Each structure stands twice: as structure tokens, then as C-alpha cells.
Structure 1
Amino acid sequence: MRAVFGSDVGRQRSHNEDSVNVFYKNNQLLGVVADGMGGHAAGEVASGMALKFAEEKWNQLEEPLTEDAAVTWLNHLVRTVNVHLYDYSEANDDCRGMGTTFAAALCSEDFIVITTVGDSRVYSWLQGSEARQITEDHTLVNELVKSGQISRADAESHPEKHVLMRALGTEPTIALDTFTRDWSDCSHLILCSDGLTNKLSSLQMRAIMESEGPLEEKTEKMIQAANEAGGEDNISLIIISHDSDGETR
């Protein structure tokens, strides 16, 4: 297993409110993408705090996690980060109302545990296949799609596309979407903020994943493609490879 990540401010924002990193320990890794929101620099504060807290908790682990233990650990992490951010925003007027999305994948050679809050996504990819979104957006538009009020196609251009129904730090409690899977039907995971997915289709992501070159180059290509398509938002992603041979095919 290995992973690379990248983040870019985009072409229209003055600063980057995304935070992204990958942490390794005990032959396991944790990848996190957080897309902050809030007035002034509050979004940057929220995503940065979430990432820093995840790193601190990860570094406290002494032994590899079993699959069940990984689920418990990741759920506890999300709940703790949520309370930490909420309490901070309540105590600091300049950060009142701040929040962040949170997409995390805890990976071992045998299993994957994934959790998301908000509209940062996780995709799976296997050579010869499209990149498949395996997480659910916690957005108003997605709720409208699920209830049949609008179509999936209409959702792409809906004026309230960016309205989140769930984010870390905005409420004292948080609903969790955590699930497990294995590597049987994918060789790579892609974690990303909406600055990427609002600009690249799954077919475009597939084309880049199937292109020649190492993971670092593919990460750069995705960021470049999102910027060339407008780059209105910050762009962040992680590519996690379970099958290193898939990097250059």
C-alpha cells in the first residue's frame, strides 16, 4: 500500500480551506480530506483542526487495528472531532458557525474502513472500470434526488448544490456513515473534495487513472484538469494504491 496526495487553491479563491494528509503506522494508513467552511479564515481553521486532531489520535495507536477495532476507532474519532470543533466555534466569535467536511479511509492490507461527513467523497477504482463513488453526499440536493423530487442530471446544475445537510462542528452531535469493505473489487481509492468532483466526471477520473505514470503524476493531472475546467474551488485529493502495479498500467 502507498498513497499520494495533493491540494491546490484553485483559480478563483484567495486561500485554501482544504486540509489533506496521509498518516502511516503499523503497516496501516489513514487518509483524510477535510474541506472547511465558514466566514473569513474559519473554514481553514476547522479543516486544519480536524486534520491535526486525527493525526494526534493516530499517533497514539500502539498496535495495528483489527477491522472491528478500526470501525470503533474511526467512529470515536469523528464524534470527538465534531465536539472539539463545535466547542471551539462556540467559544470563539470569529469562528462561530465554522465547520468542515471529512472523508477518511483507514486501510490495511486486508480491509478498508471508510467514513464521510458532508460532500467530500471516496471513489474506488479498478483497471478497466470507471471510478465509482462509494460514499453518499450529505447535501440538500442529494436528499431531493433520493426523494424523487429532482433527477440526478438536474442535481448537477441545481442552484443549491453546495448546501450541506451535515458537517463536522456545526452541531453538538453528528450522524455517522461508516462502513467496511475489502480490496476484492478495487485496487485504488480516491478521496477528494468537491473542488475536484464538481469539475471531473467519473469517466475523466478513469482516463487519468489509466494513463501512464506514477501516482504523483496522476494526482497532478487531476488537479490540473479541475483547474482547466474553471477551478472555482479549492481542489484536494488522495490516491491510495493497494496494487502498486496499477500505477503505470
Structure 2
Amino acid sequence: MDNLDFAAVTHAGSVKQVNEDSVLARPPVFAVADGISGCQRGEIASGLVLRTLARLADESDLTPDTVAAAVADAHAGVLESQTRDHHRAATTVCGAVALEIGEVAYWVVFNAGDSRLYRQLAPGEALEQVSVDHSHVQELVTAGVITPEEAELHPERHVITRAVGSRAGCRPDYWLVPMVPGERMLICTDGLLRDVEFDRIESIVGGEGSPEETVQSLLDLALAAGARDNVSVVVVDVNDAPVRV
């Protein structure tokens, strides 16, 4: 994991008193979780999920199935916590785990909810979204009812359709993508995206700042824009040297 440079930050934002987000940056596992507003103490769910996923860092032989099993364990843990501690907390989760299949390095990307993962494959290239939102407006976009631009202004844009800890089930999505030397990965909760124009985010991510400088600049940008929600950001750089995980 010497080939990965990374940084993470989480902040309550400018309006909310409690930070229900959690972040994880423990190679080879990187993730964010956003405790769902309207539930009691979403920070319980987000923290529990990422503590469960952090155990993957101690695994000696990671596989895509191992990652999926950890997410399933996290979901079961949240449901158990709801029953034991008498709360309804749930959370989104989005992240990536680095692993090898044969001699090739991959990211296992996972998502449940509307936190997001983006990749910039080389400096100057576009920031491409890998994850797909589990939200009401994304379903409308997929069905062709509204455009992506209309989705950004839709009054129900923050209504999610999947979550870890949902009594209806978790049903995360997974992607297996090759790790590209020189790439930069951005993982964030929707608090970063809510009040900031995407091209400004893309400009900062595509800049020459280190991961530490980049996450701080993105947080500063969100706070300057009002940060009505909690903000969490993880940035990971894959160095140009051959990647071994």
C-alpha cells in the first residue's frame, strides 16, 4: 500500500450541530458514510458501518466476496443495534477497497445511498462518477422522466431508496474496476455536493494539491458556500509506480 497517498476530513458543516457522517481511510479501505437525517442519531449507524469495514484492513487475502460479506455484516450490525438500543438509525455508505486478482490491482467499489465515488484517471481529465445514486431523482433520470440537470433542482433530490440499516434490505451495488497508476479518487457525502457547483469541485480535485491540501480545500469550499449538511471527503492518489496491494 506504499503506492497510495490519501487524506480524509469530516465536518458538521455550518448549520447542523451534530456530525452524523463518518469517514474511513485505512488502507486498503476507503469510505464515507452519511447517517440519514430524520432518523435518531445517524452517527450510530455511520460509525458502526465503517468500524465493521475497517476490519478488512486486517484481512490477508481480500476478494470481492470478502468485501460484500463485510458490507452485509455491517447491515446486520446496524439492524441489531436498532433492536438492542431502541433507535431507527440508518446510513448511506460509499467506498472502495484495493485488492489483487492474480497480479492485477483492482478497486472494489461499493455503494448504498447517495454518497458518491469519482475517479480522475489522469491530471487534466474529467472527474467521472463511478457510483450510481440510490435516490428517487436518479430513478426518474434513469427512466428518462427528468434530465440530470433537472435532478439537481428537484425538491425530492435527497430522498434515498437504499441504505444500510433499512428494514427493506440494503441491496448495495458493486463495481470491479482496474486500479490505474496516476489516478485520483474522490469519495464524498452529499454535503459536499449540495451547495457547491460541480465544476469548482472538479477544478480543485484536478489541481496539483496533495490529498491533504485537496480535502481541506474542498471542505473550505463547502463551508464558504454555507454547508447546510455534514461534509465528508476522502481523496486517494495512486502513484505512478506499479501498484501492489
The normalised TM-score by structure 1 is 0.87
Task: Give the Cα separation in 1 of the matches to 2:238 and 2:144.
Answer: 37
What is the identity percentage for the equivalent residue pairs of Structure 1 and Structure 2? 28
Residues 36, 91 of structure 2: 8 Å contact kept: yes
Q: Which runs of 4+ in 1 moved over 4 A?
A: 38-41
Report what 1:111 is aligned to.
Answer: 106
Task: Give the Cα separation in 2 of the matches to 1:74 and 1:199.
Answer: 32
Out of 140, 144, 147, which is 1:148 matched to?
144
**Residues 75-224 of structure 1: pairs in structure 2 closer than 5 A:** 75-93=68-86, 95-96=87-88, 98-108=89-99, 110-125=105-120, 126-171=122-167, 173-184=169-180, 187-224=183-220
Report what 1:48 is aligned to.
Answer: 47
Aligned residue pairs, count: 233
Task: Give the Cα separation in 2 of the matches to 1:189 and 1:77.
Answer: 21
Task: Give the Cα separation in 2 of the matches to 1:163 and 1:147.
Answer: 17
Out of 8, 13, 22, which is 1:10 matched to?
13
Task: Give the Cα separation in 1 of the matches to 2:71 and 2:39.
Answer: 24
Matched AA of 1:82: H
Q: Deviations over 1:27-59 (max 9, x none)?
A: xx100100002557520111011111222x325
Task: Give the Cα separation in 2 of the matches to 1:224 and 1:38.
Answer: 23
Taking only aligned residues, the RMSD between alpha carbons, in angstroms, comes to: 2.0
Q: Deviations over 1:154-201 (max 9, x none)?
A: 111111111010000012632131111113486011110000122334
SS of the residue 1:119 aligns to: coil
Residues 8, 23 of structure 2: 8 Å contact kept: yes
In the alignment, does 2:36 pair up with 1:37? yes
Unaligned segments of structure 2, at least 5 residues: none
Residues 23, 58 of structure 1: 8 Å contact kept: no
The normalised TM-score by structure 2 is 0.88
Unaligned segments of structure 1, at least 5 residues: none
Task: Give the Cα separation in 2 of the matches to 1:162 and 1:188.
Answer: 26
Task: Give the Cα separation in 1 of the matches to 2:170 and 2:153.
Answer: 28
